[in-house]
Structure 1
Amino acid sequence: MVNFNGTLHDSSSQLLSIENRGYAYGDALFETIKVVHGKILFWEDHYFRLMASMRILRMEIPMNFTMEFIESEILRTVEANQLLKATARVRMNVHRVEGGKYTPTSNNVAYNILTEQMDSDFYILNTEQYTVELFKDFYVAPGLLSTLKSNNKSINILGGIFAKENNFENCLLLNTDKTVVEALNGNLFLVKDRVIKTPPLSEGCLKGVMRTQIMELIEKLEGYTLEESPISPFELQKADELFITNCIVGIQPITNYRKKEFTRDVSKQLIERLNTKIRLS
């Protein structure tokens, strides 16, 4: 079942026209959310990021788009798909309504919500080999737009194709200053000695919900210092540990980059604390 503007439909196949602005111009935003047994994880962070992103894109926020309303719509969709007693991956898309070319005729929005079942309720540390490489065909232009979760994801798609063709699990993106920004599907953290670094938003990385959660956990991690600063490609092979964060997998350790193998010690500590935080919240 798909939720389209508050109405549940059996299929999404007949809901969007070819004039949809999300399809025609990438004039859309989305949130990818994990819902565990009817509980939306980190819902407040998702909601405020969506609202802030809509304002940046000059979308008209409907009066009924309260935190409570959207939460109820998500849970109604989860329930309609018989996933209230399971774990679901939810994607909420918000697009500007049809009309106009590059310049829209209206700033009003429509939305849709889709779900799919996931296997695990809590975050599990992946211990399999996970190799990454730099993607250098195209670069992220740092700015406010690059921090949004919008439908303009050409670089990520091309990076994904590059990774698939070359047998990598993921790629790391560079910005126009040639510093490392993030992975294709999440924020990047680097551990060297007792310092844990992640690029600041000014470098062009996504304003990740899980990034915020992990930074809060690192601040309380005894013996470690959190640092928001640019990461050069040369630092990658000198690091003790690299990991990627997003709301679906939690923490994904990188095991290999070129000839370097990395530990998973900090990743293990953080994922345990993350699961504890979820249980207690």
Structure 2
Amino acid sequence: MSEPWRRLPALSLKQIQYFVTLAELRSFTATAHLLAISQPALSSALRQIESVLGGKLVNRTAQAVTLTDRGLAILPYAERMLNIAHNTFDDMLQIMAQGGDGTLRIGLVPSVSTLLFPAVPELLATRFPHLRVEFHDLTNDRLVIELEKGSIDFGLGSLDSTVPSKIEVFPLLEDPFVVVMRKDDVLADGHHLPWRHLAQRPIAIFLRGNVSRLVNSLIESHRLNLDIAYRVDFQETLYGLVRSRLALAILPELYTSTLNDDELTVMHLQQPELTRTVAMMRTHSPLRSPQTEQCFQYLLQAFRQRLKL
């Protein structure tokens, strides 16, 4: 932490809020209305931000409001500052009103929730009894965005080349890809299946996100002859296609941890083996409070002990 007496620039959190809101709405009229201020006051605040930072952030014409290159570059930092301020102020209000220790905000992708529940809430309640914990259910791409914006303190997700270097990662386990098929399928013999045996069979995968990118990258790099017949958004849709004999579903094994269906079976894919790395993630910036840092380190140690890393 820097010295608290170090001189700060002549900017207020409200001015940062004005810029972030304007960047989202792209309208001076709508921004002024939403924030209950006059348009001249909004324009004045923006000019002061630009003066302090030393450059133009917004282009304004009669037709549109756009951000300059500098404005686009600064926006994620302004969002992070604003979100951290909101969260910290909420913590202070909670401490004053309830005598608690504030709120911990953990983001997670649904497929890794079995690593969290029910053990983690119980661990946190025992170690930090006055801490309120929120769990935010997010896609992996959204998890990274919310980390960068400071909306959550840390997250539990998976890695690929799209995770930026500004995100610090702490690997927990390798989650292998599997194929889900009917038990009466001609391929349902054993526990492992080479990818090449899926040739000429209709395949279903997720439409977007980390899992889709990993599968598509493997298909391209190994020149696999696979028929991706269905791209869907939801896990249950994948299973429905398999039950209806319309496709085989490819996804990471953790997704199947809650699968309880007498008609379906799960087989590990090999030759080549494909895995995704499940990890705890945070920004390189210091966490919001010493308590948040203690929680992060405590959960990281608990996860690694449970997973024997």
TM-score for the superposition, normalised by structure 1? 0.29
Structure with the larger helix share: 2
Structure with the larger strand share: 1
Rg bigger for which structure? 2
TM-score for the superposition, normalised by structure 2? 0.27
